Every structure is written in C-alpha cells, then in structure tokens.
C-alpha cells in the first residue's frame, strides 16, 4: 500500500498573550491510500491544528509532511487541486446562496461549474441551493462544506468533525456517503471525537492526545493491542466465590467487580491461568467470557480522559497511560 499522507515529528507552538501553548508535540501520522482513516482525540488535543498545518493555513515549528508523495507546504499548490478539505465548522459568506458560493469556488479553482448542482444533490441541498447561507441550520452549513470539499473530485478528502451539527439521519447519510467515496477509490481522513462513528466506518485510526500520537493502525489492531483484557468468570453454583477471588488476588489478579454469582478479572491477558489456578484448588469454572472492549474504552484509556467520580476534568488535563498485564 502507498501512503497518501505522511506526517512526522510535527510541532506547533501557539504564541499568545498568556505565553506559549504546545498544540503539537512531535506528532506522527500515516494514511494509506483508499482507506477511511479515523483521526481521534479529545477536545483540544491538536486535531484541527494538524489539519490546518497540513493545508498550509498555519506554519509548523518543525516536522515533515507529504501529501500524495509531495512535500508540503512547499508543493501545496501542486496538490491542492487533489485535496478536498473542510477545517473546523467552516464559515461561508452569509449573503451568498449555496449555489453562488460553490460556483465562485469552482471558478477560482478552475473546476467545471457543472459539478455544482451534482455535489449539491449529493449532500441533499438541492432544494435549498438558492437560499442565502445565512438562513441555513448548522447541519446544512456542514453539508455545504462537504459539498465544497467534494467539488474538485479530490483524491484525498479531509473532513474535520463532519458530524458536527448533523441529525442522526444526516450522520447515517454521511457514513454511507463516505463508504461510497472510499469504494470509488478516494482516501478519506475523518477527524472526530464521536467514537461509534469511527468504529463503524473507519478502516484504520490514529489516536492523538496532547499533541502526540498514542495509537495507530487498523481498528482491530488498535482494539486488540489496547484492550484491557477483562474476562468474566462464573463458578459452579455453591462454590465459595470470595475464596476463589482471594486465590486469584494472591496471584496478582485485579478484580474490579465481585457479584453474587460471578466476578471479573481486569488484567487477564492469559485467561487459561485463571482456570489453572482455580483447578489446582479443586474449584471449577463454569463460564469464562472475554468482556469485549470497544474503541471508546481504548480511547478513554489511552487519552486518559475517562471520567473520575467527584472530579471535573479540565480540557488540557491528561492522565498518564497505565500499562502492564498479568498472567503471561
């Protein structure tokens, strides 16, 4: 596979009135051709900053970036025609209609104006195309933004939080649209903090936290390598549950929950160890099921943004990742 997009060691520091803020701190990312790639991260982790830098809107302090094999921002003018992008709920001049807005962009970019009605149809704005953008809802503006990104038939489509403001129907349409686009050979880079979305449509993901990559790869790889390996253990009826838990704890197992008829082991990277330890004491397991983790769990764990009882997490606050397994 060839990489459509490569970023390595990207650094960006914003200088403001209140000193400097490191938005990107040596960030890396690779997006392969023909994929829908999810770009995940909590609020303020640097997703938009990455995309702005990539598109030449802001200057990085350090790092290398290539799009379609061309180094950017140096060769951005050559590849700009192949990259359709929306960055952070895009704004349009409110007094122009969607049609005028797109036709001006088509003119400026040397794109065939016949594509304008086609993309408006595609995003479902055909009937409102002649209304002023000022009168649109947030979701409609988002659709217009996607239409503007699709206008030049890009090879790489970059969408920053495209689900923002969309209704459930709109989100599903967006999902189908992206699947269709990917099927037609377009590479899609999709930034989001809505994980269900990403898990449903993305082939691969990059997770960013505090300006650094914390995980990357196909969705299944990321899930496999970062699941917490929790298993649910049920014993024969009548067996002394607390006794079994004590045996396992003594061997180093973490038992996050103990119920009337079952308990869970939080760090069971090798579940066979559980049956072995208990069988040695003549305790037999009647059910041993892995508790499947989803992307959300992985995300919360990796970015350290899982909610903690009685504490209000602040946006820039990330906990160090806790690693380590048991029973291997």
Partner 1 sequence: MSLYRAETRRLSKRRFTRLFVVLVLLVLGLLAAGTAYSYQKVTPAALAAAQADAERDFQEQVKFAEQEKERCVQAPAEFGGSCDELWVPVREDYRAENYMPSPFDFRESFPDMVITFAALLALVAFIIGASFVGAEWNSGGMMNLLLWRPQRLQVLATKLSALIVWLFGLTVLTGAAWTGLFWLIATFRGTTARMTPGVWQSIGLTGLRGLGLVLVAGAIGFGIASIGRHTAAALGAVLAVAVVFQFGLGVVLELAKVKFAQAYLLPYWILAWMYKSTEVIDDNAPCDFSVTTGCEQPVFTITWQLAGAVFLLVTTIIVGAAMWTIRRRDIT
Ligand X SMILES: Nc1ncnc2c1ncn2[C@@H]1O[C@H](COP(=O)(O)OP(=O)(O)O)[C@@H](O)[C@H]1O
Binding partner of residue 288 among partner 1, ligand X, Mg ion, none, CB cut-off 5 to 8 Å per kind: none
Single out the residue of 247, 245, 241 nearest to residue 255, CA to CA: 245
Binding partner of residue 108 among Mg ion, partner 1, ligand X, none, CB cut-off 5 to 8 Å per kind: partner 1
Tokens at 249, concatenated: 């704890």
Q: How far apart are CA 55 and CA 16, in angstroms?
A: 22
| Residue 93 in contact with partner 1, rule: CB under 8 A | yes
Q: Which stretch binds partner 1 (CB under 8 A): 82-90, 203-211, 247-255, 289-297?
A: 82-90
Mapping DSSP to helix (H, G, I), strand (E, B) and coil, where does residue 209 land? strand
Binding mask 35-54 for ligand X (x = CB under 6 A): ------x-xxxxxxx-----
Contact at 8 Å (CB) between 82 and 55?
no
| Segment (H or E) for 296 | helix 295-303
| Residue 162 in contact with ligand X, rule: CB under 6 A | no
Single out the residue of 26, 22, 12, 6 nearest to residue 72, CA to CA: 6
Which CB, 241 or 318, lies closer to ligand X?
318
Sign of the alpha-carbon torsion through 34, 87, 62, 73 = positive
Contacts with ligand X: how many residues (CB under 6 A)?
12
C-beta of 85: minimal distance to partner 1 in Å?
5
Give whole-number Cα distances, 81 to 66, 111, 289, in Å.
Answer: 15, 9, 51
Contact residues: partner 1, CB under 8 A: 14, 52, 55-59, 73, 76-77, 80, 85, 87, 90-96, 100, 104-105, 107-110, 148, 152
Contact residues: ligand X, CB under 6 A: 14, 16, 21, 23, 41, 43-49
């Amino acid at each position: 596979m060839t990489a459509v997009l490569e970023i390595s060691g990207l650094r960006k520091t914003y200088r403001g009135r209140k000193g400097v803020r490191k938005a990107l701190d040596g960030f890396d990312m690779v997006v392969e051709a023909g994929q829908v790639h999810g770009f995940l991260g909590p609020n303020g982790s640097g997703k938009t900053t990455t995309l702005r830098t990539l598109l030449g809107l802001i200057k990085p302090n350090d790092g290398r970036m290539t799009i379609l094999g061309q180094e950017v921002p140096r060769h951005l003018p050559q590849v700009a025609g192949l990259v359709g992008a929306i960055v952070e709920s895009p704004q349009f001049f409110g007094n122009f209609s969607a049609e005028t807005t797109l036709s001006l962009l088509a003119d400026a970019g040397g794109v065939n104006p016949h594509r304008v009605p086609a993309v408006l149809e595609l995003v479902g704005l055909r009937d409102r195309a002649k209304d002023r953008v000022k009168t649109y809802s947030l979701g409609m503006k988002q659709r217009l933004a996607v239409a503007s990104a699709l206008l030049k038939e890009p090879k790489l489509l970059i969408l920053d939080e495209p689900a923002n403001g969309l209704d459930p129907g709109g989100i599903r349409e967006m999902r189908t649209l992206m699947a269709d686009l990917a099927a037609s050979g377009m590479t899609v880079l999709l930034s989001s903090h809505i994980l269900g979305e990403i898990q449903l449509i993305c082939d691969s993901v990059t997770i960013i936290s505090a300006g650094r990559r914390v995980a990357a790869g196909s969705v299944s790889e990321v899930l496999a390598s970062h699941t917490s390996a929790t298993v649910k253990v049920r014993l024969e009826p009548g067996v002394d549950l607390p006794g079994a838990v004590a045996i396992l704890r003594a061997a180093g197992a973490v038992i996050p929950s103990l119920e009337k008829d079952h308990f869970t082991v939080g760090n069971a990277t090798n579940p066979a160890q559980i049956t072995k330890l208990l069988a040695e004491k003549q305790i037999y397991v009647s059910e041993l099921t892995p508790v499947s983790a989803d992307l959300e769990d992985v995300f919360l764990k990796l970015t350290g943004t899982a909610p903690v009882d009685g504490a209000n997490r602040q946006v820039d606050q990330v906990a160090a990742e806790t690693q380590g397994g048991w029973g291997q």
